[in-house]
Structure 1
Amino acid sequence: MAIPDYQTLMLPVLAIASEGEARVPDVAEKIASMLGLTDEEREEMLPSGKQRLLHNRIHWAKFYMSKAGLIRSPKRGLFTATDAGRALLATQPTAIDVALLKSYPTFVEFYGAASSGASSSEAPAALAATESAITPEEQIDAAHAILTSALRADLLTRILEQTPAFFERVIVDLLVAMGYGGSHENAAMRLGKSGDGGIDGIVDEDRLGLDRIYLQAKRYAHHVPVGRPEIQGFVGSLVGLGATKGVFVTTSTFSAPAVEFTRGLQQRVILIDGTRLTELMVEFGVGVRSSRMVEVKRLDEDFFNEDI
């Protein structure tokens, strides 16, 4: 089953906290067992890959309930239900959500700081609690994914509008950014200069030129996939040159037979389609630049640990 959103998790989190001091990992394990989550679901990460999804949602369930006075943290890493939290459980609620938390004055005060526009480090979290079923981290990751997807689509469109020579320069820039080619000048000299009908270029795999990678580049529209015959021709050129490594780059896609053909070859042939190409361009900063940086800070628990 899918991992419940953080509001759905509020009730089981409070119930477990009412049994005594608890830690997020222990609560996550209990809830996962209670819900019958698979190992994959238990280990599912946020899109950022920085935290388990279940742990993140439990954290925010705990955080919002603490603002309503239902949960307190007696010491680092531990939390437990307050008298108010136990009193709420005694009413046997069917669910706990943000709407219910608004019946507590302390949460209303917390939420009011956001809705009134007051300067508060917690204001964005309060707004997130009332406007979305997902946690703030999930909202950040989702927004980042949307922006990145749009950027990659724009990159592909712009590449297709340019000349084949420009596409070759894109590949040069990308390979150099990834650490291949030795230098931009050397990579540019080798790319497109081999003279072989099946090879568009050659780059050194390392700065010393101990091994070489042979390239083929096809600037095709998205609806025109690269088929098996073109891959076979590329591999034939590699065999003729005694080469063992090749990279075939296209702005479109590869047909299923083309992909299947590369499996089991003696040569190492990497296929980079338009999607992967733009992913790498974004990752290595080719054709893009940063327009806005958002720094998210967390509480430094060690700073407040007097035992250190």
Structure 2
Amino acid sequence: MGKSVPKQEDMYEAVIEVIRKRDGSATRQEIDEGVAEYMELSDEQVNQLHDDKGTRTRLSYNLAWSRTYLKAFGMLDNSKRGVWLLTPKGHECATVDKKEIVNHFRSTQRKKRVAKKRPHLTNNIQSEALEGWRDELMEAVLELSPSGFEKLCQYILRESGLIEVEVIGRSGDGGIDGKGNMQLSGLLKFQCFFQCKRYRGSVTPKEIRDFRGAMAGRSDKGLFITTGVFTKAAREEANRDGAPLIDLINGDMLLDKMQELELGLKQNLVYEVNKDWFRQFK
């Protein structure tokens, strides 16, 4: 049996260092990939699923908690668009005391429970790790037929600014599922091919090479979209020197984009009863 994925408290230092090396801010994807490289994690550790229901990896799940604890401790902050920022406290930190961070978080949650009279810790935590809609949304995507997933990707690309997006997937076309055009300032137009892979597994370097080969002589812009994950070797192949760049969108990034565009999601207001308000009528 291979090595287990590091616990959330064992990745605090790595998270801080990865963001620091990116001049103090980084996206969730940059943090996840950076931590894997910083800690020299194996493909097996990086791609291990959190559970057998969704496509979220255990590493991604644990790192979500790492960021939550560091934010509660005042070392990180984040925007609604998922960009994480080192606070002055985070910048000034020379060493990370994981025990102190964990104790601070637990103490804060206990105080909140007492103040709000809520019995469960999870009711008071604002963490990416508890975003249940992500698993539900991914399940809805995975339930689509292959052609349905291609149409969804087509719609997302249109919403993201591509024009003349077509689904052209057919057998014998080397995995090319569609094409579209990116227009620069309304003047220059670049054609882009895309491939959509709807499954729970990992995309390998071979699939990247096959896709690039199918693009040869037709376009040097490629986009590979999957509900799964890309192995480290696949990411390296996509960015190999001397070869056309293949941009990658994994399952987490796909959900982020759907959230940003509010596709397949609707916001619900959650009300909490204020019992003190009723005292005026007694």
State TM-score, norm by structure 1: 0.47
The residue correspondences of 1:88-99 to structure 2 (distance < 5 A) are none
Q: What is residue 143 of structure 1 aligned with on the other side?
A: 126
Give the residue type in structure 1 aligned to 2:234: A
- 1:53 positional shift: 7.7
Kept in 2, the 8 Å contact 1:215–1:248? The answer is: yes
Match of 2:238 among 240, 251, 262: 262
Match of 2:226 among 236, 250, 253: 250
- 1:234 positional shift: 0.5
What is the rounded CA distance, in whole Å, between the counterparts of 2:86 and 2:270 in structure 1? Answer: 20
- 1:196 positional shift: 3.1
Kept in 2, the 8 Å contact 1:246–1:268? The answer is: yes
The structure with the largest strand share of the pair is 2
State the number of aligned residues.
173
Deviation per CA, 1:30-55: give whole Å up to 9, x if none.
xxxxxxxxxxxx99332345893859
Q: What is residue 156 of structure 2 aligned with on the other side?
A: 174
What is the rounded CA distance, in whole Å, between the counterparts of 1:287 and 1:208 in structure 2? Answer: 32
Kept in 2, the 8 Å contact 1:46–1:53? The answer is: no
Q: What is residue 238 of structure 1 aligned with on the other side?
A: 215
Deviation per CA, 1:1-43: give whole Å up to 9, x if none.
989xxxxxxxxxxxxxxxxxxxxxxxxxxxxxxxxxxxxxx99
Kept in 2, the 8 Å contact 1:168–1:191? The answer is: yes
CA 1:204–1:46 in 2, change beyond 3 Å: closer, same or farther?
same
Kept in 1, the 8 Å contact 2:169–2:175? The answer is: no
Q: What is residue 44 of structure 1 aligned with on the other side?
A: 75
CA 1:248–1:51 in 2, change beyond 3 Å: closer, same or farther?
closer
What is the rounded CA distance, in whole Å, between the counterparts of 2:232 and 2:129 in structure 1? Answer: 28
Kept in 1, the 8 Å contact 2:174–2:213? The answer is: no
Deviation per CA, 1:172-196: give whole Å up to 9, x if none.
2211221222xxxx42xx1226883
Q: What is residue 301 of structure 1 aligned with on the other side?
A: none
What is the rounded CA distance, in whole Å, between the counterparts of 1:271 and 1:254 in structure 2? Answer: 8
What is the rounded CA distance, in whole Å, between the counterparts of 2:168 and 2:270 in structure 1? Answer: 37
Match of 2:194 among 205, 215, 219: 215
What is the rounded CA distance, in whole Å, between the counterparts of 1:191 and 1:245 in structure 2? Answer: 16
CA 1:193–1:227 in 2, change beyond 3 Å: closer, same or farther?
closer
- 1:147 positional shift: 4.8
Q: What is residue 271 of structure 1 aligned with on the other side?
A: 248
- 1:293 positional shift: 8.1
Indicate the structure (1 or 2) with the bigger Cα radius of gyration.
1
Give aligned-pair identity as a percent.
26
Where 2:234 maps in the other structure, the secondary structure is helix
Give the residue type in structure 1 aligned to 2:227: T
State TM-score, norm by structure 2: 0.51
CA 1:130–1:162 in 2, change beyond 3 Å: closer, same or farther?
same
- 1:209 positional shift: 7.0
CA 1:269–1:51 in 2, change beyond 3 Å: closer, same or farther?
closer
What is the rounded CA distance, in whole Å, between the counterparts of 2:234 and 2:85 in structure 1? Answer: 36
What is the rounded CA distance, in whole Å, between the counterparts of 2:234 and 2:210 in structure 1? Answer: 11
What is the rounded CA distance, in whole Å, between the counterparts of 2:86 and 2:215 in structure 1? Answer: 44
- Gaps spanning 5+ residues in structure 1: where? 4-41, 56-98, 100-126, 133-138, 295-308
The residue correspondences of 1:218-229 to structure 2 (distance < 5 A) are 218-220=197-199, 222=200, 224-229=201-206
CA 1:256–1:240 in 2, change beyond 3 Å: closer, same or farther?
same
Kept in 2, the 8 Å contact 1:152–1:282? The answer is: no
RMSD over aligned Cα atoms: 4.0
Where 1:214 maps in the other structure, the secondary structure is strand
CA 1:53–1:154 in 2, change beyond 3 Å: closer, same or farther?
farther
Which fold has the larger relative contact order, with Cα–Cα distance below 8 Å and residues 6 or more apart in sequence?
2
Matched, 1:285 2:235: no
CA 1:51–1:256 in 2, change beyond 3 Å: closer, same or farther?
closer
CA 1:193–1:231 in 2, change beyond 3 Å: closer, same or farther?
closer
Deviation per CA, 1:119-157: give whole Å up to 9, x if none.
xxxxxxxx739559xxxxxx98x4252453x21211111
